[in-house]
């Protein structure tokens, strides 16, 4: 047996792994769960697999991270982006993400549809990290323009809250049966509006003040 | 299993908003009855006015928050002055101007969904802020070179949420108006059908081109050009028209001759549509017309109504003066239109015929003498008085059963709207009976 040319052969194996992984989701509606079974079926040994990916989840992680990078890069390159407010940026991001993921409905269903909004699957780690970086920058922009109240250290939970909102948008879109997913567009519009009204308005501060007032009194 | 949860939750929040208004209306009634128990006879009347005003502003606030169908329903009620006490009208008349806007990213998203391109791919300029609201969307101003466009963008999902909204609004509307569901089911169906049509901009485009073509001969009536290649079911592009909103023109310093010309144009426009085309623009709201250099520009063809020939004849034979003056013939005609039903007793019949004779006689008056001065404040005041009296009439209130034709909703709406516009303009117009009703030998 002659040695395969490393580069071409490696690229071929990587491609086969990725293709097979997503084919399984398309066929069964769920990702592969056993690495040995996956490798055996593909005729690749574990060591060869690990040259490319540390785990099965990492295949998908790389995919979602790629989608996210693609969306964020194309947005930042938009002519109007620099002039957009934080609210407009968040809306634009959500619309763009769903547009980019529109032909991946089965994949979205398998990954986002299962496990609830608070699940933190390993396959979404990269996406989550990228989103929170984006959200932190968004909040900084919003605070600078006065759209978002600066609540000091409390502001640290904003990216967390926005990530939860992002997950709920995807969740809504997966259940949406309206033509062109119009209801999802309306959902995004309305909930972002609500979120920014909350981030700006005094109601949130007042609620926090009441909480602060009540919490120590219990221990005292 | 939880497939519908998300949709339910939005439906729930809408219902909750409406229930909120219902509760507040109820609370106002409680306050009213509490205070009235303590008030003198004279004070009671004043309290009643306060009650209507408080309820009107509350109901209006809720309707306008919900956008879509309820807002449209409010607009319709604002024109149908016969149904609502005057206090409601003040608030409802604002409906056109107070819709929550679509964000610019949503407008961009809608363009991508409809055309696969963004506004700035299709136009050199496109305003991020809406220039004005429309009941189910908003209007942006755009340009290619020096050519200016008005681009109407629809709120997403309007068609889907509309039926739901109407279902939620229905019991409250029935309550507020004191109607029984089975008696007005056909009317609601008619309104629903028209509202659903309004969400289809492709249909609006087609109808506006049709009407513009068919009304080309009406003097001083103009239509903006439409752009099918820049339009879809959710986006409608037409020429930008500079001009003065009709209500502002009417309330401004225009001379009597200018008022008469604008009023005549509107009269002729409706006359031609209803009596020649049997297809008409059924939304004579002042926000749908602009005045420039004595011409009236017609915008917004979302709400058009086609009348079947037999319905048309049944409705408009009442314009015939000889029929109106003959109570026996009139009663027969009312039976044919099912305004009188077999179960009505003789006292009821006589009462209804007299009421009908009064109200229709009043509405047909402009047709009677070939000329009408809508500037006569006594004329509109008499119509309102009559409407108010009808709404308080004990026999009418007790009247049950399905009556009349649901087609009449939009005929009435068009004429009420037209008369309101003309009286606001204080215009004097030349009128004539449709040819088939004109006395033989008349010019």
Interface of A with B in 191-220 (CB under 8 A): 192-193
Please state the three-class secondary structure of chain B as a single string: CCCCHHHHHHHHHHHHHHHHHHHHHHHHHHHHHHHHHHCCHHHHHHHHHHHHHHHHHHHHHHHHHHCHHHHHHHHHHHHCCCCCCHHHHHHHCCHHHCCCCCCHHHHHHHHHHHHCCCHHHHCCEECCCCCEEECCEEEEEEEECCEEEEEEEECCCHHHHHHHHHHHHHHHHHHHHCCCHHHHHHHHHHHHHHHHHHCCHHHHHHHHHHHHHHCCCCCCEECCCECHHHCCCCEEEEECCCCEEHHHHHHCCCCHHHHHHHHHHHHHHHHHHHHHHCEEECCCCHHHEEEECCEEEECCCCCEEECCHHHHHHHHHHHCHHHHCCHHHHHHHHHHCCCCCCCCCHHHHHHHHHHHHHHHHHHHHHHHCCEEECCCHHHHHHHHHHHHHHHHCHHHHHCCCCCCCCCHHHHHHHHHHHHHHHHHHCCEEECCCCHHHCCCCCC
Q: What percent of chain B has pLDDT over 90?
A: 33
**CA separation, residue A13 to residues A2, A6, A18, A42, B80 (Å):** 17, 10, 9, 9, 73
The sign one gets for the Cα dihedral B21, B25, B30, B34 is positive
pLDDT band at A218 (very low <50, low <70, confident <90, very high): very low
pLDDT of B42 higher than 90: no
pLDDT at B253: 95
**CB pair distance less than 8 Å for B106 and A185:** yes
pLDDT at B180: 67
pLDDT band at B240 (very low <50, low <70, confident <90, very high): very high
**CB pair distance less than 8 Å for B103 and A175:** no
**CB pair distance less than 8 Å for B103 and A192:** yes
**What is the chain A residue with the closest CA to B119?**
A80
Distance of alpha carbon B111 from alpha carbon B424, whole angstroms: 39
**CB pair distance less than 8 Å for B6 and A192:** no
Question: Considering only CB atoms, which chain B residues are within 8 Å of A171?
Answer: 6
**CB pair distance less than 8 Å for B157 and A183:** yes
Q: Mind telling me how many Å the CA of A113 is from chain B's nearest CA?
A: 11
CB nearest B157 (choices: A79, A91, A185): A185
Distance of alpha carbon B428 from alpha carbon B422, whole angstroms: 8
> What is the average per-residue pLDDT within B399-427?
81
Asked if the C-beta of A112 comes within 8 angstroms of chain B's C-beta atoms, the answer is: no
- Secondary structure class of A53 (helix, strand, coil): coil
Asked if the C-beta of B125 comes within 8 angstroms of chain A's C-beta atoms, the answer is: no
pLDDT at B91: 42
CB nearest A185 (choices: B3, B5, B109): B109
pLDDT at B172: 66
| Selection from B220, B67, B92, B75 nearest residue B155 by Cα | B67
Output the average pLDDT for chain B: 77
pLDDT band at B133 (very low <50, low <70, confident <90, very high): confident
Asked if the C-beta of B339 comes within 8 angstroms of chain A's C-beta atoms, the answer is: no
**CB pair distance less than 8 Å for B103 and A171:** no
Q: pLDDT tens-digit profile of A86-120? A: 999 999 999 999 998 888 888 888 888 776 777 78
Higher pLDDT: A166 or B393? It is A166
Interface of A with B in 70-89 (CB under 8 A): 79-80, 84, 87-88
> What is the average per-residue pLDDT within A40-46?
90
CB nearest B6 (choices: A88, A175, A189): A175
Q: Could you tell me how far CA B8 lies from the centroid of its own chain?
A: 30
HSE value, Cβ hemisphere, 13 Å, CA-based, for B343:
5
Q: Which residues contact B316 (CB under 8 A, 6 or more apart)?
A: B274, B275, B434, B437
ipTM: 0.81
Output the average pLDDT for chain A: 85
Question: Considering only CB atoms, which chain A residues are within 8 Å of B161?
Answer: 183, 186
Asked if the C-beta of B16 comes within 8 angstroms of chain A's C-beta atoms, the answer is: no
Most confident of A25-34, A49-58, A209-218, B414-423: A49-58
Asked if the C-beta of B8 comes within 8 angstroms of chain A's C-beta atoms, the answer is: no
Higher pLDDT: A217 or B246? It is B246
pLDDT at A157: 85
Contact indicator for A130, A65 with CB cutoff of 8 Å: yes
Question: Considering only CB atoms, which chain B residues are within 8 Å of A191?
Answer: none
Q: Could you tell me how far CA B278 lies from the centroid of its own chain?
A: 18
What does the buried/exposed string (b/e) look like for B235-261 if buried means 16 or more CB atoms within 10 Å of the residue's CB? bbbbebbebebbbebbeeebeeebbbb
**CB pair distance less than 8 Å for B108 and A95:** yes
Q: What percent of chain B has pLDDT over 70?
A: 68
pTM over the 0.80 mark: no
CB atoms under 10 Å from CB of B193, counted, come to 12
CB nearest A178 (choices: B2, B3, B157): B157
The sign one gets for the Cα dihedral B123, B125, B126, B128 is positive
**CB pair distance less than 8 Å for A91 and B160:** no
DSSP lists the bridge partners of residue B221 as B296
Q: Mind telling me how many Å the CA of B121 is from chain A's nearest CA?
A: 11
**CB pair distance less than 8 Å for B120 and A99:** no
Asked if the C-beta of B232 comes within 8 angstroms of chain A's C-beta atoms, the answer is: no
Asked if the C-beta of B101 comes within 8 angstroms of chain A's C-beta atoms, the answer is: no
**CB pair distance less than 8 Å for B157 and A88:** no
Contact indicator for B177, B396 with CB cutoff of 8 Å: no
Q: Which residues contact B66 (CB under 8 A, 6 or more apart)?
A: B14, B17, B18, B165
Higher pLDDT: B381 or B225? It is B225
Disruptive mutation site among A99, A171, A186 for chain B (greatest number of B CBs within 10 Å): A186
pLDDT of A124 higher than 80: yes
- The count of CB pairs under 8 A between chains A and B is 62
Q: Which residues contact B270 (CB under 8 A, 6 or more apart)?
A: B280, B281, B284, B414, B415, B418
Question: Considering only CB atoms, which chain A residues are within 8 Å of B113?
Answer: 180, 182, 185
> What is the average per-residue pLDDT within B351-371?
86
**CB pair distance less than 8 Å for B106 and A95:** yes
Asked if the C-beta of B86 comes within 8 angstroms of chain A's C-beta atoms, the answer is: no
pLDDT at B1: 36
pLDDT at A4: 42
> What is the average per-residue pLDDT within B97-106?
72
pLDDT at B189: 80
Distance of alpha carbon B199 from alpha carbon B233, whole angstroms: 8
Contact indicator for A108, A75 with CB cutoff of 8 Å: no
Which of A6-20, A165-179, B14-28 is predicted least confidently? B14-28
Question: Considering only CB atoms, which chain B residues are within 8 Å of A80?
Answer: 120
Question: Helices (H) and strands (E) in chain A — how many of each?
Answer: 10, 0
pLDDT at B429: 96
* Helix axes of B408-425 and B346-368: crossing angle, nearest 10 degrees: 50
**CB pair distance less than 8 Å for A186 and B156:** yes
Question: Considering only CB atoms, which chain B residues are within 8 Å of A186?
Answer: 155-157, 161
């Amino acid at each position: 047996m002659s040695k395969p040319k490393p580069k071409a052969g490696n690229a071929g194996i990587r491609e086969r792994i990725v293709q097979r992984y997503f084919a399984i989701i398309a066929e069964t509606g769920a990702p592969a769960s056993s690495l040995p079974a996956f490798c055996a079926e593909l005729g690749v040994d574990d060591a060869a697999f690990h040259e490319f990916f540390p785990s099965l989840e990492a295949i998908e992680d790389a995919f979602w991270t790629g989608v996210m990078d693609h969306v964020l890069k194309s947005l930042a390159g938009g002519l109007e982006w620099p002039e957009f407010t934080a609210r407009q940026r968040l809306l634009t991001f959500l619309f763009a993400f769903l547009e980019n993921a529109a032909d991946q409905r089965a994949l979205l269903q398998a990954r986002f549809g299962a496990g609830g909004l608070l699940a933190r699957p390993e396959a979404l780690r990269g996406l989550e990290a990228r989103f929170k970086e984006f959200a932190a920058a968004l909040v900084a922009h919003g605070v600078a323009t006065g759209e978002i109240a600066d609540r000091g250290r409390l502001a640290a939970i904003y990216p967390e809250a926005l990530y939860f909102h992002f997950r709920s948008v995807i969740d809504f879109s997966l259940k949406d049966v309206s033509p062109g997913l119009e209801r999802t567009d309306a959902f995004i519009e309305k909930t972002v509006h609500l979120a920014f009204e909350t981030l700006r308005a005094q109601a949130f501060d007042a609620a926090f003040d009441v909480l602060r007032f009540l919490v120590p009194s219990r221990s005292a | 299993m939880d497939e519908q949860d998300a949709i339910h939750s939005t439906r729930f929040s809408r219902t909750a908003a409406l229930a909120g208004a219902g509760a507040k209306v109820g609370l106002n009634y409680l306050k009213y009855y509490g205070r009235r128990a303590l008030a003198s006879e004279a004070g009671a009347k004043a309290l009643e006015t306060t009650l209507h005003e408080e309820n009107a502003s509350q109901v209006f606030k809720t309707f306008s928050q919900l956008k879509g169908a309820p807002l449209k329903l409010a607009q319709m009620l604002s024109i149908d002055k016969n149904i609502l006490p005057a206090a409601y009208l003040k608030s409802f008349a604002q409906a056109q101007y107070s819709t929550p806007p679509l964000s610019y990213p949503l407008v961009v998203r809608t363009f991508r969904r409809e055309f696969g391109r963004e506004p700035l791919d299709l136009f050199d300029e496109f305003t991020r802020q809406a220039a004005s609201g429309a009941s189910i969307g908003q209007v942006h101003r755009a340009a290619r070179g020096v050519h200016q466009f008005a681009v109407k963008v629809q709120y997403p999902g309007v068609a889907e949420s509309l039926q739901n909204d109407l279902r939620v609004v229905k019991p409250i509307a029935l309550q507020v108006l004191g109607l029984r569901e089975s008696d007005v089911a056909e009317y609601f169906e008619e309104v629903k059908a028209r509202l659903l049509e309004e969400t289809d901009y492709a249909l609006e485009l087609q109808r506006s081109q049709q009407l513009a073509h068919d009304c080309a001969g009406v003097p001083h009536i103009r239509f903006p050009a439409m752009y099918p290649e820049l339009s879809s079911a959710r986006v409608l592009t037409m020429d930008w028209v500079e001009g003065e909103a009709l209500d502002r023109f009417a309330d401004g310093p225009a001379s009597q001759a200018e008022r008469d010309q604008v009023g005549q144009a509107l009269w002729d426009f409706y006359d031609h549509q209803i009596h020649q085309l049997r297809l008409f623009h059924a939304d004579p709201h002042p926000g749908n017309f602009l005045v420039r250099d004595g011409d009236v520009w017609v915008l917004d063809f979302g709400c058009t109504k086609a009348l079947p020939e037999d319905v048309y004849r049944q409705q408009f034979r009442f314009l015939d003066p000889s029929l109106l003056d003959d109570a026996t013939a009139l009663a027969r005609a009312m039976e044919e239109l099912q305004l009188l039903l077999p179960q009505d007793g003789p006292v009821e019949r006589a009462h209804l015929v007299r009421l009908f004779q009064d109200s229709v006689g009043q509405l047909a008056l402009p047709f009677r003498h070939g000329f009408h001065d809508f500037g006569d404040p006594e004329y509109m005041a008499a119509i309102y008085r009559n409407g108010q009296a009808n709404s308080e009439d004990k026999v009418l209130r007790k009247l049950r059963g399905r009556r009349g034709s649901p087609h009449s909703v939009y005929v009435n709406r068009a004429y009420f709207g037209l008369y309101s516009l003309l009286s606001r303009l204080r215009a004097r117009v030349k009128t004539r009976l449709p040819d088939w009703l004109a006395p033989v030998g008349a010019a």
